[in-house]
């Protein structure tokens, strides 16, 4: 095995393992600094609702004979805070490639329902998404998986992200202008 390839493969595995580690408390704290950091790192930031949800089998280009079941979620934008998407646009996220992913139909989301609010019977319908794709590893046949729904502040049911929504409504236009 060539050293450059080995380094690239190990880098992918280390980065993926780090991505699945529990997030430090500051990633969850209700602070303007956390919301702005998530905003700054995202390609787009939206609140959106689920308009399609299905299980699909997808093969990775590196291992075409192995099909992996994924949850394919189609979202429709309710409000765009950053990026080129606008109200009514749709986008798709496949989740289930890594151990970090959390399907929408997961019990995790029902257990995390906001105090005093009943959890959705099957899955949360409205989400906040800070779409943050991983960096491309130049020249490597192995790449990190694309953005997924995870147990992180980058993808949450809106009912759990009320602080983020308040901060985005207050500051997103200012942040977009660079102030």
| pLDDT tens per residue across span 39-52 | 999 999 999 999 99
CA distance 121 to 113: 11
> Is the residue at 147 inside a domain?
yes
Q: If you count DSSP H runs as helices and E runs as strands, how many of each does the chain have, helices first?
A: 4, 5
Exposed/middle/buried for 1, CB within 10 Å: 0-12, 13-18, 19+?
exposed
CA distance 111 to 160: 11
14 has a pLDDT exceeding 60: no
The number of distinct structural domains making up the chain is: 1
78 has a pLDDT exceeding 80: yes
Residue 52 exposure: Cα atoms within 13 Å on the Cβ side: 12
Q: Does residue 33 sit in helix, strand or coil?
A: helix
> Is the residue at 27 inside a domain?
no
Give Cα separations from 73 to 5, 18, 79 (angstroms): 33, 25, 18
Q: Does residue 94 sit in helix, strand or coil?
A: strand
Domain that holds residue 50: 42-176
Q: Which two tokens stand for residue 158?
A: 């809106």
Q: Does residue 61 sit in helix, strand or coil?
A: coil
Provide the mean pLDDT of the chain: 81
């Amino acid at each position: 095995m060539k050293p450059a390839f080995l380094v690239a493969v190990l880098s992918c595995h280390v980065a993926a393992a780090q991505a699945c580690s529990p997030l430090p408390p500051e990633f969850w704290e209700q602070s303007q600094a956390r919301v702005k950091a998530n905003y700054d790192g995202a390609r787009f930031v939206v609140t959106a609702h689920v308009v399609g949800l299905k299980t699909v089998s997808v093969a990775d280009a590196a291992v075409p004979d192995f099909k992996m079941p994924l949850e394919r979620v189609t979202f429709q934008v309710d409000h765009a805070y950053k990026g080129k998407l606008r109200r009514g646009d749709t986008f798709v996220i496949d989740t289930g490639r890594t151990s970090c992913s959390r399907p929408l139909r997961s019990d995790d989301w029902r257990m995390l329902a906001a105090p005093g609010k009943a959890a959705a019977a099957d899955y949360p319908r409205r989400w906040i998404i800070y779409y943050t794709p991983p960096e491309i590893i130049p020249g490597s046949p192995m790449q990190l998986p694309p953005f997924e729904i995870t147990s992180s502040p980058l993808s949450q049911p809106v009912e759990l992200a009320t602080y983020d929504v308040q901060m985005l409504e207050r500051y997103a236009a200012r942040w977009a202008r660079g102030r």
